[in-house]
Amino acid sequence: MQSDNTHNHSISVEHAKVLSPKRNTTEANTTEDLVSEQLSHFGIDASSDYGKALAQTAHHLYGAQSSVMELWNITTNTLQTLDKEDRVAYFNAKKFLSFQIAKVLDTLQNPFRATYQSLSSGNGSQGHYPMFDNVTALFSATPVVVRTATYVYACTEWVDDAFQGKEFTHQIYSRLLNPTNISLANAIVDMEAGPYASEYLAWNFNSGMAAIDAMLSNVLSHGDVLIVSRNVYGGVYQLLHDFFARENRMDIQIAWFDGYDKESFADFMAHTKHQHSERLNNGASMHVYMESPCNPHGYVLDVPGICELAHAEGALVMLDSTLATPVLHQPLQHKNKAARPDYVVHSYTKDLCGSGATTAGVVIGEGHRMFQPKGSSVDGVDWSQTMFWDVYYIKGAFLDSEKAFDVLNGMKTLEQRMMTKVINTQVFTSFLSSHPLIRVNCHGLAEHENAGLREKQHAHGWPCTLFTIDMAPAGLAKDVFTRFFDALEPAFSHQVSIGQNNTIVLCPALTSHSELSKDEQSKAGIELTTMRIAMGTDNVKQLIAHFILASRHFIDASTPGFSHKFMGNEAIDALYLTVSERVCAQHFGSKPNMQSLMGE
């Protein structure tokens, strides 16, 4: 019968083999055998002084690998039982261990460089070998911007594993994996999935549209049926209508869902199944794509309820949660897994980055749907069906390191920026709604038809910071409206993108949703004079003052007294203070109390 010591030794050698240059073909049964194989592989005489020193070092490294794996197993088994004091101690002990390992690598720099230089012919043609110079980047306090197209590989068997997706440390091309890119992917998964982060992975793309295209390409097969919420970004409408739905392309049958609640969706899904039963009975699948909050009105859908219904029918759910950001809604943190979407997509370009200087996007999904090593299969999903191998690996729509770094920096201030934008949204929409000739389409107003879902679903009941207004009740002539709209600069920026620090206004019918036909625009609640406003972090009272002054100058002449119907100055000041105090109290009051932070 095998003894515990023999069993543990066997496990130890198995862990150590990962570091061997012959990891896949080795026949070693002991650490000593692994060391001998390594020296032989590189043609080193084991009896030489160098061979003896190298053997001793390699022996320690193989032992260290086994010990680190044991440390990881102990951590996994005990972490949840530790009090906060011990967790702090565990963390700092591991942090220092990382420094020690990095220091060993750093110590190799000079002899490594000297050996390399000794190979040179002396005329400098050998060039510079930077690999070990990069070790000190491990101590960087911010993610390192890794600007490289490719990577040095260790040995044949290691790079073979890398191409099979079995070696995560060993990257091949930056268009597949890049350390800065991976850092961002980890950050968004932590922010979006929270306590369930270990179940999810993310892939970053060079735009939000590239992310959406990749997600749809991975999920949909030719002839499938796709239920889509009516109010989606114009670019998504164009992608679906002009590519996926075309008979000579993907021949996807689009079914447009006009409702927002669970009950409306249940009826619509049943109707869709019946209407397209022939397709579905002939092998097509039905899936769901929704945007919540949606563009341009900011309405929210009952995401958990719709997910539960869709999953009961075997449909996958894709959610564009760009406008929510993880601050307003965290759909992947629902305790009931059936109520979570299968994929969450964000346009980093918007609030997550916030600067308006970077275009980028991300798709987050369950780990087994996003990546598996070649040859594996998990929960009915084959490795070849995962987003990495099916789309990301072959399309090359990756996010470069500079953009990834920009987004990471922006995410640090997301929570504070969103709080300010929520204050501005509540103040500005309340100000506008007090005017009898302005229609405000924002669920932040208590009387709005979408307010109930917003209150139920968003953190603190905070509103989406994107909404629409129109002045149809005022009956303004087109020329009057146009001159008023043009005069909203510079307080309101005339720009197309949203989610930046400045407040942006545009007419969707002429810009973001111009791809829609007049009929489709009407169904989406978009008129020629509809204005989409994306609130920024700027001084909302200055925005209000500019809006009133522009009204006086361009509207009062044709509609006498229009500007006098706005809320008075003192009332605006009081409104600003009341809303600011309430939102700040909600935000800061929701933070964990000291007792829970101390683990008591």
Sorting pLDDT into bands at 50, 70 and 90, what band is 6?
very low
- Average pLDDT rounded to a whole number, residues 259-278: 97
Q: Which of 59-63, 260-264, 306-310, 316-320 has the lowest mean pLDDT?
A: 59-63
- What does pTM read for this prediction? 0.90
pLDDT at 309 over 90: yes
Tell me: the pLDDT tens digits for 444-461? 999 999 999 999 999 999
Torsion of CA 189, 195, 196, 202, to 10 degrees: 10
Domains and CATH numbers, the chain: 414-596 (3.90.1150.10)
List beta partners, residue 317.
Answer: 288
- Residue 228, H or E segment: strand 225-229
55 and 46 in contact (C-beta within 8 Å)? Answer: yes
The pLDDT tens digits of the residues spanning 406-450 come to: 999 999 999 999 999 999 999 999 999 999 999 999 999 999 999
**Chain centroid to CA 294:** 17
**CA atoms of 58 and 80, how far apart (whole Å):** 34
- Asked if the model's pLDDT at residue 1 lies above 50, the reply is no
Beta strands in 230-279 (DSSP E): 253-257
Distance CA 145, CA 181 (A): 9
Given a cut of 90, whether residue 117 has pLDDT beyond it is no
Model confidence pLDDT, tens digit, residues 151-177? 888 888 888 888 888 876 667 777 778
* Per-range mean pLDDT, top range of 6-10, 98-102, 244-248: 244-248
Report how far residue 355's alpha carbon sits from residue 442's, in angstroms, rounded to the nearest whole number.
25
Q: What is the per-residue pLDDT for 140?
A: 85
pLDDT tens, position by position, 496-550: 889 999 999 998 877 766 777 878 877 777 777 789 999 999 999 999 999 999 9
Mean pLDDT, all residues of the chain: 91
